[in-house]
Amino acid sequence: MRAASVSDYRELARRRLPKIFFEYIDGGSYAEETLRRNVADLEVIALRQRVMRDMSQLDMSVQLLGQTLSMPVGLAPVGMAGMYARRGEVQAARAAAAAGVPFCLSTVGVCSVEEVARGAQAPWFQLYMLKDRGYMRELLARAKDLGCPVLVFTVDLPTPGARYRDVRSGFTGGTRLEAALAQLRDGVTHPAWTWDVFVNGRPHTLGSVAGAVKESRRVTDFLSWIARNFDRSVTWKDLDWVRETWDGPIVVKGVLDPDDARDAVRAGAQGLVVSNHGGRQLDGVRSSISALPRIVEAVGDDLEVFMDGGVRSGLDVLKALSLGAKACFLGRAWAYALGAGGEAQVARMLATIRSELAVAMILTGCRSARAAGPELLDGLDRPSVSRPNRS
């Protein structure tokens, strides 16, 4: 099958990946209500079609935290991407660089921040706050020394959410022997993945934190260590601790409530990502797109607002821009594409998003992504939010 949409990449990834890794990408927490809302709430927003607007000139570029992007899209941090394709984070970062958009490396990526910087570009770096603050300080210093331009501080994971699919697939909750048998079974039935990743994609560690988990040898061992070491005591004051090492832009990721958004402003963040962690943390909360307008209204021009969660097309990107986001970050979309066929498929997926966004802009009369606002939405869906400053 030749993929034409994100749902096609999902199907290709389902066929190619072992079940434990596909379910890890695809699943959410508990009953997955929030996971479904992220997609469904975007689907029901109606764009306002306009015609005869002279759309011969189109500008999809945006300015984000001092960087120029070719379109208002980035690749969000996705854990363990190196288990979806050989050294997967490097492959995805190369595709993002070629497309002129940022790649954000997860703390729990298989490839280290050094490997991604060496093999592609210095990524935006995503930080989970762990109990070992000494190692966290060292990790921040490594990212800074490599020239990572932005720190994305994820704040909605003081403890991992309960993900039933991972238990059912055998990825979590069982013994080491059960996990090994599940991976062996999956490997035999997915020979292309086995050759690409299991045989030739080693080491299967979490590269950026490998120095702190020296006794572990498998990626699931690392994840267990990470889960035990998430710091539940984190508060807004910890941003001051981060700034002792990091003097670049800080984006707070995982905000759904306007009061938390105002706290991010007071704490001095330069940006925030409206996000519910792709529906993988607290189930039953708002979708990201439904939370977006109130947060934009709460912070005004005090920081840059981005969004992730449920974005599956360029049309979704334009809907989010119309509701006040300055850009969208894709998570599952690029993970599916990577699992479907590595860098080439991620590049094709990004080209599809770009093409879809262009069509949506032309048929709504939006000449510049920076000028997108609520007037692009059908009147029934148009909220009364102020337009953020996109210059």
Q: Bridge partners of 154?
A: 253
Report the distance separating Cα 113 and Cα 307, nearest Å.
23
Q: What is the pLDDT of residues 158-216, one digit of tens each?
A: 888 899 999 888 888 766 666 667 777 777 889 999 999 999 999 988 899 888 776 66
* Residue 218 pLDDT level (bands cut at 50, 70, 90): low
What domains does the chain contain, in order, with CATH numbers? 6-363 (3.20.20.70)
Q: Is 204 a catalytic residue?
A: no
Cα-Cα-Cα-Cα torsion 113, 136, 274, 249, nearest 10 degrees, comes to -70
pTM: 0.94
Helix (H), strand (E) at residue 359 = helix 332-364
Beta strands, E only, the chain: 62-64, 67-69, 73-75, 104-105, 124-127, 151-154, 250-255, 271-274, 304-308, 327-330
Q: What is the pLDDT of residues 299-338, one digit of tens each?
A: 999 999 999 999 999 999 999 999 999 999 999 999 999 9
- Which residue is catalytic, options 142, 277, 286, 294? 277
Say how far residue 360 (Cα) sits from the centre of its chain: 23
Other CB atoms within a 10 A radius of the CB of residue 49 amount to 11
Task: Report the chain's C-alpha Rg in angstroms.
Answer: 20
| Tokens of residue 312, six digits | 């599956």
